[in-house]
Structure 1
Protein backbone atom coordinates (compact mmCIF):
# COMPACT_ATOMS: atom_id res chain seq x y z
CA UNK A 1 0.00 0.00 0.00
CA UNK A 2 2.79 2.44 0.88
CA UNK A 3 4.61 1.72 -2.39
CA UNK A 4 1.39 2.39 -4.32
CA UNK A 5 0.92 5.68 -2.49
CA UNK A 6 4.46 6.74 -3.40
CA UNK A 7 3.86 5.70 -7.03
CA UNK A 8 0.61 7.69 -7.11
CA UNK A 9 2.27 10.83 -5.69
CA UNK A 10 0.29 10.61 -2.43
CA UNK A 11 3.52 10.21 -0.43
CA UNK A 12 6.98 11.60 -1.17
CA UNK A 13 8.56 8.47 0.30
CA UNK A 14 8.04 5.60 2.71
CA UNK A 15 9.93 3.12 4.88
CA UNK A 16 9.12 -0.44 3.81
CA UNK A 17 10.56 -3.95 3.79
CA UNK A 18 12.85 -4.46 0.81
CA UNK A 19 11.26 -6.32 -2.09
CA UNK A 20 11.03 -6.11 -5.87
CA UNK A 21 9.70 -2.63 -6.48
CA UNK A 22 8.07 -1.02 -9.48
CA UNK A 23 10.74 0.35 -11.88
CA UNK A 24 9.58 3.93 -11.14
CA UNK A 25 10.71 3.53 -7.52
CA UNK A 26 14.22 3.78 -6.14
CA UNK A 27 15.17 2.45 -2.72
CA UNK A 28 17.79 3.47 -0.18
CA UNK A 29 18.83 0.88 2.41
CA UNK A 30 18.26 2.01 5.99
CA UNK A 31 18.98 -0.95 8.26
CA UNK A 32 18.93 -4.73 8.54
CA UNK A 33 16.63 -6.56 10.92
CA UNK A 34 15.75 -10.08 12.02
CA UNK A 35 12.24 -11.32 12.68
CA UNK A 36 11.66 -13.77 15.51
CA UNK A 37 8.71 -15.96 16.38
CA UNK A 38 7.61 -15.02 19.89
CA UNK A 39 5.58 -16.96 22.42
CA UNK A 40 4.66 -16.68 26.09
CA UNK A 41 6.92 -18.14 28.77
CA UNK A 42 5.42 -21.65 28.87
CA UNK A 43 8.07 -24.21 27.95
CA UNK A 44 7.36 -25.28 24.39
CA UNK A 45 9.10 -26.65 21.33
CA UNK A 46 8.91 -25.16 17.86
CA UNK A 47 6.69 -28.09 16.87
CA UNK A 48 4.24 -27.18 19.65
CA UNK A 49 4.29 -23.52 18.65
CA UNK A 50 3.21 -24.46 15.11
CA UNK A 51 -0.13 -25.45 16.64
CA UNK A 52 -0.68 -22.11 18.40
CA UNK A 53 -2.98 -19.43 16.96
CA UNK A 54 -1.12 -16.94 14.75
CA UNK A 55 -1.66 -13.33 15.85
CA UNK A 56 -1.08 -10.85 13.06
CA UNK A 57 -1.99 -7.68 11.22
CA UNK A 58 -4.25 -7.84 8.17
CA UNK A 59 -3.03 -9.04 4.74
CA UNK A 60 -0.30 -6.87 3.28
CA UNK A 61 1.92 -6.89 6.37
CA UNK A 62 5.46 -7.93 5.43
CA UNK A 63 5.99 -9.77 8.72
CA UNK A 64 2.84 -11.79 8.20
CA UNK A 65 3.89 -12.67 4.65
CA UNK A 66 7.25 -13.97 5.89
CA UNK A 67 5.70 -16.22 8.53
CA UNK A 68 3.05 -17.45 6.08
CA UNK A 69 5.86 -18.40 3.66
CA UNK A 70 7.56 -20.38 6.44
CA UNK A 71 4.26 -22.08 7.33
CA UNK A 72 3.69 -22.98 3.67
CA UNK A 73 7.21 -24.37 3.20
CA UNK A 74 6.81 -26.44 6.40
CA UNK A 75 3.36 -27.70 5.25
CA UNK A 76 1.75 -26.09 8.28
CA UNK A 77 -1.80 -24.84 8.25
CA UNK A 78 -2.34 -22.52 11.21
CA UNK A 79 -5.25 -23.81 13.27
CA UNK A 80 -6.39 -20.26 13.88
CA UNK A 81 -5.37 -16.79 12.70
CA UNK A 82 -6.36 -13.74 14.69
CA UNK A 83 -6.00 -10.35 13.00
CA UNK A 84 -5.40 -7.56 15.49
CA UNK A 85 -5.11 -3.82 14.90
CA UNK A 86 -2.01 -2.70 16.81
CA UNK A 87 1.41 -4.06 17.64
CA UNK A 88 0.79 -3.44 21.35
CA UNK A 89 -2.39 -5.56 21.25
CA UNK A 90 -0.56 -8.36 19.46
CA UNK A 91 2.36 -8.30 21.92
CA UNK A 92 0.14 -8.25 25.00
CA UNK A 93 -1.93 -11.11 23.56
CA UNK A 94 1.25 -13.18 23.17
CA UNK A 95 2.27 -12.39 26.76
CA UNK A 96 -1.17 -13.62 27.93
CA UNK A 97 -0.69 -16.89 26.01
CA UNK A 98 -3.27 -16.33 23.26
CA UNK A 99 -0.90 -17.25 20.43
CA UNK A 100 2.39 -16.53 18.65
CA UNK A 101 3.54 -13.82 16.27
CA UNK A 102 6.51 -12.84 14.09
CA UNK A 103 8.09 -9.47 14.91
CA UNK A 104 11.43 -7.64 14.65
CA UNK A 105 13.81 -8.91 17.31
CA UNK A 106 14.90 -5.39 18.24
CA UNK A 107 11.33 -4.38 19.09
CA UNK A 108 10.87 -7.18 21.64
CA UNK A 109 14.34 -7.79 23.09
CA UNK A 110 13.40 -5.79 26.21
CA UNK A 111 10.35 -8.05 26.71
CA UNK A 112 12.49 -11.16 26.43
CA UNK A 113 15.03 -9.75 28.91
CA UNK A 114 12.15 -8.97 31.31
CA UNK A 115 10.95 -12.60 31.13
CA UNK A 116 7.63 -11.79 29.44
CA UNK A 117 8.19 -13.71 26.18
CA UNK A 118 10.45 -16.23 24.49
CA UNK A 119 12.07 -15.55 21.12
CA UNK A 120 12.48 -18.40 18.64
CA UNK A 121 14.71 -18.01 15.60
CA UNK A 122 13.62 -19.21 12.17
CA UNK A 123 15.89 -19.75 9.13
CA UNK A 124 17.45 -16.59 7.63
CA UNK A 125 15.41 -16.79 4.42
CA UNK A 126 12.28 -16.05 6.47
CA UNK A 127 13.70 -13.92 9.23
CA UNK A 128 16.33 -11.58 7.80
CA UNK A 129 15.23 -8.47 5.95
CA UNK A 130 16.17 -4.90 5.15
CA UNK A 131 14.16 -1.76 5.73
CA UNK A 132 14.50 0.69 2.86
CA UNK A 133 13.28 4.19 2.11
CA UNK A 134 11.52 4.30 -1.27
CA UNK A 135 10.74 7.28 -3.49
CA UNK A 136 9.81 7.89 -7.10
CA UNK A 137 12.77 7.98 -9.46
CA UNK A 138 11.36 10.96 -11.36
CA UNK A 139 10.64 13.29 -8.43
CA UNK A 140 12.63 16.42 -7.87
CA UNK A 141 15.00 16.01 -4.95
CA UNK A 142 14.75 19.03 -2.70
CA UNK A 143 17.78 19.89 -0.58
CA UNK A 144 15.87 18.55 2.44
CA UNK A 145 15.26 15.14 0.80
CA UNK A 146 18.86 15.03 -0.46
CA UNK A 147 20.11 15.71 3.08
CA UNK A 148 17.70 13.07 4.45
CA UNK A 149 19.00 10.44 2.00
CA UNK A 150 22.60 11.45 2.79
CA UNK A 151 21.84 10.99 6.50
CA UNK A 152 20.34 7.54 5.81
CA UNK A 153 23.47 6.52 3.91
CA UNK A 154 25.77 7.82 6.67
CA UNK A 155 23.79 6.06 9.41
CA UNK A 156 23.75 2.83 7.40
CA UNK A 157 27.56 2.90 7.16
CA UNK A 158 27.90 3.48 10.90
CA UNK A 159 25.42 0.71 11.80
CA UNK A 160 26.94 -1.90 9.49
CA UNK A 161 30.51 -1.12 10.56
CA UNK A 162 29.73 -1.96 14.23
Structure 2
Protein backbone atom coordinates (compact mmCIF):
# COMPACT_ATOMS: atom_id res chain seq x y z
CA UNK A 1 0.00 0.00 0.00
CA UNK A 2 1.17 3.53 -0.76
CA UNK A 3 -0.34 7.01 -0.66
CA UNK A 4 -1.42 6.75 -4.30
CA UNK A 5 -3.49 3.67 -3.42
CA UNK A 6 -5.25 5.70 -0.73
CA UNK A 7 -5.83 8.56 -3.17
CA UNK A 8 -7.45 6.13 -5.61
CA UNK A 9 -9.51 4.66 -2.77
CA UNK A 10 -10.77 8.13 -1.79
CA UNK A 11 -11.58 8.94 -5.42
CA UNK A 12 -13.69 5.79 -5.83
CA UNK A 13 -15.56 6.63 -2.62
CA UNK A 14 -16.11 10.23 -3.73
CA UNK A 15 -17.39 9.43 -7.23
CA UNK A 16 -19.10 6.13 -6.41
CA UNK A 17 -17.61 4.72 -9.58
CA UNK A 18 -14.36 3.07 -10.66
CA UNK A 19 -14.68 4.61 -14.12
CA UNK A 20 -15.19 8.17 -12.89
CA UNK A 21 -12.41 7.76 -10.32
CA UNK A 22 -10.04 6.64 -13.06
CA UNK A 23 -10.91 9.66 -15.18
CA UNK A 24 -10.41 12.02 -12.26
CA UNK A 25 -7.05 10.46 -11.35
CA UNK A 26 -5.82 10.32 -14.99
CA UNK A 27 -5.43 6.55 -15.08
CA UNK A 28 -7.29 3.56 -16.49
CA UNK A 29 -10.13 1.71 -14.81
CA UNK A 30 -8.23 -1.58 -14.72
CA UNK A 31 -5.50 0.06 -12.62
CA UNK A 32 -8.05 1.46 -10.15
CA UNK A 33 -9.77 -1.91 -9.89
CA UNK A 34 -6.45 -3.69 -9.31
CA UNK A 35 -5.29 -1.23 -6.64
CA UNK A 36 -8.58 -1.45 -4.74
CA UNK A 37 -8.44 -5.26 -4.94
CA UNK A 38 -4.89 -5.16 -3.51
CA UNK A 39 -6.08 -2.94 -0.64
CA UNK A 40 -8.94 -5.33 0.13
CA UNK A 41 -6.55 -8.28 0.13
CA UNK A 42 -4.09 -6.40 2.36
CA UNK A 43 -6.80 -5.55 4.90
CA UNK A 44 -8.57 -8.86 4.50
CA UNK A 45 -12.02 -7.35 3.99
CA UNK A 46 -14.24 -5.71 1.39
CA UNK A 47 -13.94 -1.95 1.27
CA UNK A 48 -16.79 -1.36 -1.21
CA UNK A 49 -20.13 -2.91 -2.01
CA UNK A 50 -20.58 -3.14 -5.75
CA UNK A 51 -23.81 -2.92 -7.74
CA UNK A 52 -24.51 -2.44 -11.43
CA UNK A 53 -25.05 1.30 -10.84
CA UNK A 54 -22.50 2.37 -8.24
CA UNK A 55 -20.11 1.36 -5.50
CA UNK A 56 -20.39 2.39 -1.85
CA UNK A 57 -18.16 2.13 1.19
CA UNK A 58 -18.63 -0.78 3.58
CA UNK A 59 -18.23 -0.28 7.34
CA UNK A 60 -14.57 -1.27 6.97
CA UNK A 61 -14.26 1.18 4.08
CA UNK A 62 -15.65 4.00 6.24
CA UNK A 63 -13.03 3.21 8.87
CA UNK A 64 -10.22 3.22 6.31
CA UNK A 65 -11.53 6.52 4.92
CA UNK A 66 -11.06 8.20 8.30
CA UNK A 67 -7.49 6.93 8.54
CA UNK A 68 -6.76 7.79 4.91
CA UNK A 69 -7.84 11.41 5.37
CA UNK A 70 -5.76 11.65 8.53
CA UNK A 71 -2.66 10.21 6.83
CA UNK A 72 -2.98 12.47 3.79
CA UNK A 73 -3.45 15.48 6.06
CA UNK A 74 -0.27 14.63 8.00
CA UNK A 75 1.72 14.10 4.80
CA UNK A 76 0.52 17.42 3.36
CA UNK A 77 1.49 19.16 6.60
CA UNK A 78 4.97 17.59 6.45
CA UNK A 79 5.47 18.79 2.87
CA UNK A 80 4.46 22.32 3.81
CA UNK A 81 6.51 22.64 6.98
CA UNK A 82 9.72 20.63 6.58
CA UNK A 83 12.63 22.65 5.24
CA UNK A 84 16.30 23.32 5.64
CA UNK A 85 15.89 25.49 8.72
CA UNK A 86 13.69 25.61 11.78
CA UNK A 87 11.68 28.71 10.92
CA UNK A 88 7.92 28.34 11.16
CA UNK A 89 6.43 28.08 7.72
CA UNK A 90 3.53 26.51 5.87
CA UNK A 91 -0.11 27.21 5.22
CA UNK A 92 -3.06 27.37 7.62
CA UNK A 93 -6.64 26.99 6.42
CA UNK A 94 -9.02 28.71 8.83
CA UNK A 95 -12.81 28.84 8.72
CA UNK A 96 -14.88 31.81 9.91
CA UNK A 97 -18.40 33.07 10.08
CA UNK A 98 -18.51 36.07 7.76
CA UNK A 99 -19.23 38.41 10.67
CA UNK A 100 -16.12 37.36 12.58
CA UNK A 101 -13.95 37.48 9.47
CA UNK A 102 -15.07 41.08 8.94
CA UNK A 103 -14.02 42.06 12.46
CA UNK A 104 -11.01 39.88 13.23
CA UNK A 105 -9.64 38.77 9.84
CA UNK A 106 -7.55 41.83 8.90
CA UNK A 107 -6.04 42.05 12.40
CA UNK A 108 -4.99 38.39 12.34
CA UNK A 109 -3.48 38.66 8.87
CA UNK A 110 -1.38 41.64 9.94
CA UNK A 111 -0.22 40.03 13.20
CA UNK A 112 0.67 36.76 11.49
CA UNK A 113 2.64 38.58 8.79
CA UNK A 114 4.73 40.29 11.48
CA UNK A 115 5.34 37.31 13.77
CA UNK A 116 5.39 34.46 11.22
CA UNK A 117 6.15 35.92 7.78
CA UNK A 118 6.58 32.49 6.19
CA UNK A 119 3.13 31.23 7.16
CA UNK A 120 0.34 31.71 4.61
CA UNK A 121 -3.30 32.06 5.65
CA UNK A 122 -6.29 30.82 3.72
CA UNK A 123 -9.62 32.03 5.11
CA UNK A 124 -12.91 30.39 4.25
CA UNK A 125 -16.30 31.81 5.16
CA UNK A 126 -19.24 29.45 5.71
CA UNK A 127 -22.09 28.59 8.04
CA UNK A 128 -21.40 26.79 11.33
CA UNK A 129 -22.39 23.25 10.15
CA UNK A 130 -20.16 23.48 7.07
CA UNK A 131 -17.22 24.78 9.08
CA UNK A 132 -17.46 21.92 11.58
CA UNK A 133 -17.75 19.37 8.79
CA UNK A 134 -14.71 20.80 7.00
CA UNK A 135 -12.58 20.62 10.16
CA UNK A 136 -13.69 17.06 10.91
CA UNK A 137 -12.93 16.00 7.32
CA UNK A 138 -9.49 17.71 7.21
CA UNK A 139 -10.54 20.32 4.64
CA UNK A 140 -9.83 23.05 7.21
CA UNK A 141 -7.11 23.08 9.85
CA UNK A 142 -9.36 24.91 12.29
CA UNK A 143 -12.38 27.18 12.51
CA UNK A 144 -13.96 29.91 14.61
CA UNK A 145 -17.52 28.83 15.41
CA UNK A 146 -20.25 29.78 17.90
CA UNK A 147 -20.67 27.62 20.99
CA UNK A 148 -21.83 25.18 22.18
CA UNK A 149 -19.69 22.45 20.63
CA UNK A 150 -19.79 18.94 22.05
CA UNK A 151 -17.78 16.67 19.78
CA UNK A 152 -15.22 14.13 21.06
CA UNK A 153 -12.90 14.64 18.08
CA UNK A 154 -12.56 18.42 18.46
CA UNK A 155 -10.28 20.46 20.69
CA UNK A 156 -11.69 23.88 21.52
CA UNK A 157 -10.40 27.21 22.80
CA UNK A 158 -12.74 29.88 24.13
CA UNK A 159 -12.01 33.10 22.22
CA UNK A 160 -14.53 35.83 22.96
CA UNK A 161 -18.07 36.75 23.91
CA UNK A 162 -20.05 39.15 21.78
CA UNK A 163 -23.46 40.75 22.04
CA UNK A 164 -26.17 39.99 19.50
CA UNK A 165 -28.79 42.71 18.97
CA UNK A 166 -31.98 43.28 17.01
CA UNK A 167 -31.20 45.59 14.09
CA UNK A 168 -34.23 47.48 12.81
CA UNK A 169 -35.00 50.42 10.49
CA UNK A 170 -34.17 53.82 11.96
CA UNK A 171 -37.79 54.87 12.34
CA UNK A 172 -38.66 51.89 14.54
CA UNK A 173 -39.51 52.98 18.09
CA UNK A 174 -39.63 49.64 19.95
CA UNK A 175 -39.51 45.87 19.66
CA UNK A 176 -43.26 45.82 20.26
CA UNK A 177 -43.73 47.96 17.16
CA UNK A 178 -41.70 45.47 15.11
CA UNK A 179 -43.91 42.60 16.20
CA UNK A 180 -47.16 44.49 15.63
CA UNK A 181 -46.53 45.00 11.92
CA UNK A 182 -48.17 42.41 9.68
CA UNK A 183 -46.67 40.58 7.99
CA UNK A 184 -43.55 40.48 10.13
CA UNK A 185 -40.60 40.87 7.79
CA UNK A 186 -37.08 39.63 8.51
CA UNK A 187 -33.78 39.88 6.62
CA UNK A 188 -31.73 36.74 7.22
CA UNK A 189 -28.79 34.71 6.02
CA UNK A 190 -29.32 31.20 4.64
CA UNK A 191 -30.15 28.11 6.71
CA UNK A 192 -27.40 27.19 9.17
CA UNK A 193 -26.78 30.79 10.23
CA UNK A 194 -26.55 31.14 14.02
CA UNK A 195 -28.13 34.62 13.92
CA UNK A 196 -31.08 33.33 11.90
CA UNK A 197 -31.51 30.44 14.37
CA UNK A 198 -31.62 32.87 17.29
CA UNK A 199 -34.08 35.13 15.49
CA UNK A 200 -36.30 32.10 14.84
CA UNK A 201 -36.12 31.12 18.53
CA UNK A 202 -36.96 34.65 19.65
CA UNK A 203 -40.02 34.90 17.40
CA UNK A 204 -41.24 31.45 18.48
CA UNK A 205 -40.90 32.57 22.11
CA UNK A 206 -43.26 35.42 21.18
CA UNK A 207 -45.77 32.96 19.73
CA UNK A 208 -44.87 33.77 16.13
CA UNK A 209 -44.03 30.95 13.72
CA UNK A 210 -45.15 32.47 10.42
CA UNK A 211 -43.26 35.45 9.04
CA UNK A 212 -41.71 36.73 5.81
CA UNK A 213 -38.01 36.06 5.18
CA UNK A 214 -35.75 37.82 2.71
CA UNK A 215 -32.54 35.81 2.41
CA UNK A 216 -29.26 37.65 1.75
CA UNK A 217 -25.71 36.34 1.45
CA UNK A 218 -23.76 39.32 2.79
CA UNK A 219 -23.75 41.55 5.86
CA UNK A 220 -23.77 44.62 3.61
CA UNK A 221 -26.92 43.40 1.91
CA UNK A 222 -28.67 42.65 5.21
CA UNK A 223 -27.88 46.10 6.62
CA UNK A 224 -28.89 47.92 3.42
CA UNK A 225 -32.24 46.13 3.31
CA UNK A 226 -32.87 46.94 6.96
CA UNK A 227 -32.05 50.62 6.35
CA UNK A 228 -34.51 50.61 3.45
CA UNK A 229 -37.27 49.57 5.85
CA UNK A 230 -37.81 46.12 4.38
CA UNK A 231 -37.40 44.24 7.66
CA UNK A 232 -35.18 43.55 10.68
CA UNK A 233 -32.51 41.03 11.66
CA UNK A 234 -30.14 39.81 14.40
CA UNK A 235 -26.46 40.80 14.07
CA UNK A 236 -23.41 41.28 16.32
CA UNK A 237 -23.49 44.70 18.01
CA UNK A 238 -19.77 45.22 17.33
CA UNK A 239 -20.32 44.88 13.58
CA UNK A 240 -22.97 47.61 13.66
CA UNK A 241 -21.04 50.05 15.86
CA UNK A 242 -17.76 49.52 13.97
CA UNK A 243 -18.93 49.65 10.36
CA UNK A 244 -22.51 50.89 10.18
CA UNK A 245 -22.90 53.62 12.81
CA UNK A 246 -23.78 56.11 10.06
CA UNK A 247 -26.66 54.03 8.72
CA UNK A 248 -30.29 54.91 9.45
CA UNK A 249 -30.82 51.84 11.59
CA UNK A 250 -31.53 51.21 15.26
CA UNK A 251 -30.50 48.42 17.64
CA UNK A 252 -32.35 46.84 20.54
CA UNK A 253 -30.92 44.61 23.27
CA UNK A 254 -31.96 40.98 23.67
CA UNK A 255 -32.33 38.78 26.76
CA UNK A 256 -28.99 37.34 27.88
CA UNK A 257 -29.72 33.78 26.71
CA UNK A 258 -30.20 35.03 23.15
CA UNK A 259 -28.04 38.15 23.24
CA UNK A 260 -24.69 36.65 24.21
CA UNK A 261 -22.69 34.45 21.85
CA UNK A 262 -19.41 32.73 22.70
CA UNK A 263 -16.96 32.09 19.87
CA UNK A 264 -14.76 28.99 20.02
CA UNK A 265 -11.67 28.03 18.04
CA UNK A 266 -11.82 24.32 17.16
CA UNK A 267 -9.39 21.86 15.59
CA UNK A 268 -8.97 18.10 15.51
CA UNK A 269 -7.61 16.27 18.56
CA UNK A 270 -6.15 13.32 16.66
CA UNK A 271 -3.64 15.42 14.67
CA UNK A 272 -1.03 17.45 16.57
CA UNK A 273 -1.21 21.11 15.49
CA UNK A 274 1.40 21.88 12.85
CA UNK A 275 4.01 24.56 13.64
CA UNK A 276 2.07 26.91 11.37
CA UNK A 277 -1.20 26.27 13.23
CA UNK A 278 0.57 26.61 16.58
CA UNK A 279 1.88 29.97 15.40
CA UNK A 280 -1.61 31.06 14.47
CA UNK A 281 -2.98 29.99 17.85
CA UNK A 282 -0.25 31.98 19.60
CA UNK A 283 -1.78 35.17 18.19
CA UNK A 284 -4.59 34.94 20.72
CA UNK A 285 -4.13 36.78 24.00
CA UNK A 286 -2.89 34.56 26.80
CA UNK A 287 -6.02 35.15 28.87
CA UNK A 288 -8.08 33.81 25.99
CA UNK A 289 -6.26 30.51 25.74
CA UNK A 290 -8.67 28.72 28.05
CA UNK A 291 -10.01 25.28 27.08
Q: Which residue of 2 aligns with 1:77?
A: 209
Q: Which residue of 2 aligns with 1:104?
A: 236
Structure 1 counterpart SS, 2:187: strand
User: C-alpha offsets along residues 18-69 of structure 1, whole Å, 9 cap, x if unaligned?
Assistant: 1133210111112110100011111422122124311101110011111111
- Structure 1 stretches of 5 or more lacking a match? 158-162
Where is the helix percentage greater, Structure 1 or Structure 2?
2
Equivalents in 2 of 1:27, 1:72: separation in Å?
A: 31
Equivalents in 1 of 2:204, 2:142: separation in Å?
A: 32
Q: Which residue of 1 aligns with 2:150?
A: 21
Q: Which residue of 2 aligns with 1:160?
A: none
Could you say which structure has the larger radius of gyration? 2
Could you tell me whether the CA contact under 8 Å between 1:28 and 1:149 is conserved in 2? no
Equivalents in 1 of 2:250, 2:196: separation in Å?
A: 19
Deviates more, 1:148-157 or 1:118-127: 148-157
Equivalents in 2 of 1:118, 1:111: separation in Å?
A: 14
Is 1:35 the counterpart of 2:164? The answer is yes
- Superposition RMSD in Å: 1.8
Equivalents in 1 of 2:149, 2:256: separation in Å?
A: 18
Is 1:44 the counterpart of 2:173? The answer is yes
User: C-alpha offsets along residues 64-99 of structure 1, whole Å, 9 cap, x if unaligned?
Assistant: 111111111221234211111111111100011110
Is 1:86 the counterpart of 2:215? The answer is no
Aligned length: 157
Could you tell me whether the CA contact under 8 Å between 2:167 and 2:235 is conserved in 1? yes
Is 1:144 the counterpart of 2:144? The answer is no
The TM-score with structure 1 as length reference comes to: 0.88
Structure 2 counterpart SS, 1:151: coil
Could you tell me whether the CA contact under 8 Å between 1:55 and 1:100 is conserved in 2? yes
- Structure 2 stretches of 5 or more lacking a match? 1-129
Deviation at 1:111, TM superposition (A): 6.0
Which of 173, 189, 196 is the equivalent residue of 1:64? 196
Which of 245, 253, 257 is the equivalent residue of 1:125? 257
The TM-score with structure 2 as length reference comes to: 0.51
The structure-2 alpha-carbon separation of the partners of 1:73 and 1:118, relative to structure 1 and needing over 3 Å to count, comes to same
Equivalents in 2 of 1:112, 1:140: separation in Å?
A: 40
Structure 2 counterpart SS, 1:152: coil
Deviation at 1:108, TM superposition (A): 0.3
Deviation at 1:151, TM superposition (A): 2.4
